[in-house]
Each structure stands twice: as C-alpha cells, then as structure tokens.
Amino acid sequence: MKLVTDRTTISKIVKQHRQNHESIGFVPTMGYLHEGHLALVEKAKEQNDIVIMSIFVNPTQFGPNEDFDSYPRDLAHDQRLAEAAGVDYIFAPSVEEMYPNKMNNQITVVERAGVLCGRSRPGHFDGVVTILLKLFSLIMPERAYFGKKDAQQIAVIDGLVQDFFLPIQIIAVETNRELDGLAKSSRNVFLSDSERVEAKELYKSLTKAKTAINSGEKSKKRIIEMVIDHLQLNTSGEIDYVEIYSYPSLKALDVIEGKVIIAIAVKFSKARLIDNLILDVR
C-alpha cells in the first residue's frame, strides 16, 4: 500500500491504472477508521481492480460551532487498518493541498439538504459535494462507496452525480453495527460508559418502528410518536429529530408507502449520533 499526499502524484497513479484498463473503486473517508469503513473497502475490492481510500477531514463541511478541531485523527492507525484490509493507495492530502486558493465557484445543494441533519447544519452538504467533486475529479473512479448510516449524504451525492452527469456509480453499503445494534461511528468514542449503554436504543427504536409498519401501521405521525416515546424512556440524550421521508427524494409524506427512510438523531453530552432504516413499503 502506498500513502500519497499530493494531487500531482495521485493523478499520475490514476492515469497509469486507467492506461492499464484497471477499474478503480474509491472509498472517501475522514479517517479514524473502524469496521464500517473496512466494510466499504471489502465491497470495493470485490468489484474493482484497484482501491483508493481518501483520508481528509474537510473543513468546508463543518459549521463554526462544530467539531472540526476535535474530530479524531490518527493516520498511523488508519494506515495499518487500510493496509490489512487491502487498500492499494491512501490519498491523505493537507487542507492546503485541497484548497490551495480561494474558491472561484461555489456549489449549493438546493434539494435533499434542507431536512434531517441538513436543517440544523446549513452549508454542510455544500461542503460535502464540493470536496467530493474535487476528489472525484482527481481519482476518476468507476465506483464510490458510502455507508447507509449517512443516508441523507448518499441521497445528496446521488443528486450530484445525476446533475453533472458524472460517470460514477454510487454504491450504498449496509450500515455496519456493533453486536447490540449501535451503528459504528468515529464519534462513538466520545460517549460515556452510561451513554454507550443507552446508545443501543437508537437502533431498537427503529426496529420497533419497522415491526409496526410491517404489521400494517402506515401513519407517519403514530410511528414518529412511537420512536420518540422509546428514546425518551430509554436514553438521557436530547432528541434532535425523528423524521420520515420518501427516499432518496426526501420529500414529505403523510402515509408511509413506497421507499421511505425513518431517520433519527440524538445528542448526548459530547456526541451527536444518527441512525436510520430504509424500507420499501408496499
């Protein structure tokens, strides 16, 4: 495995593999790798000749009061895990490498961004699509891999690929979970011991909703109330949102039918956790 930190070198590497007619799978991350990231690598290795992982904590997707400076970073740890998983190249540029000058253009996400996490994080998805467009332009992958835990992000990226005719297939990989159901996340390290015990209730609340829907309950209002009641009874966290939308369009609905997402966010003392289930309700 090779570590690359500059744009010129990664572009030369990509060009060589393309000349050899080798397919490239791309796994964009912000580092501090865990098994969820490695599941993306595993899928990428199955479907491509070469796997490139980026490790970059992108400042443009963090708000002024968010955790950019405290976001966990450990490149040596990430290199060990990535190499063991079979990653061929890590692209780990500096902020100056990815944003060498003041931007002449700005991308604004106008659909799929104003709900769920996007409602309380204005500009967040503008930063996400900006860095991904830069990375896609450098790495030119056939396929890019994202975890379904960040389902709104996938919906926004799907819109980016559609709008700009990007020749990239977006692969959504099932959420990787702990044995008790908690979605694996770099932010889980910020949970206290008691909060970690409570955190499993996020997924339990979603599976409870799924069971009710499969049993015939189609009222969005009643399902949301059920999830809120479960979270309030079983966690000390502050509920940020419990919402249900069509997916991936993220449009409002009253009756649960078709492909939908049930999404939740809960704030604990030092960590904000998100989770979701995507259901096809017929």
> Catalytic residue numbers?
37
Strand partners, 214: none
63 is in an annotated binding site: no
Q: Is 259 annotated as a binding residue?
A: no
Q: Is 36 annotated as a binding residue?
A: yes
Is 150 annotated in a binding site? The answer is yes
Q: Are 25 and 143 in contact (CB under 8 A)?
A: yes
Instruction: Say if residues 262 and 279 touch (Cβ distance below 8 Å).
Output: yes
Contact 273, 266 (CB under 8 A): yes
Cis amide linkage into residue 28, ω under 30° from 0: no
Q: Is 282 known as a binding-site position?
A: no
Ligand-binding annotation for 34, yes or no, is yes
Residue found under tokens 């595993």: 42
**Known binder of ligand: residue 32?**
yes
Q: Give how far Cα 50 sits from Cα of 20, 25, 138, 157, 190, Å.
A: 11, 6, 15, 22, 34
Instruction: Give the three-state DSSP class for 216.
Output: coil
Q: Is 89 annotated as a binding residue?
A: no
Q: Is residue 177 annotated as involved in ligand binding? A: no
Q: Determine if residue 31 is labeled as part of a ligand binding site.
A: yes
Strands 258-267 and 238-246, bridge-based pairing: antiparallel
Q: Known binding site for (R)-pantoate: residues? A: 61, 153
Annotated binding-site positions for ATP? 30-37, 147-150, 184-187
Residues that constitute the known binding site for beta-alanine: 61
Annotated binding site: 30-37, 61, 147-150, 153, 184-187
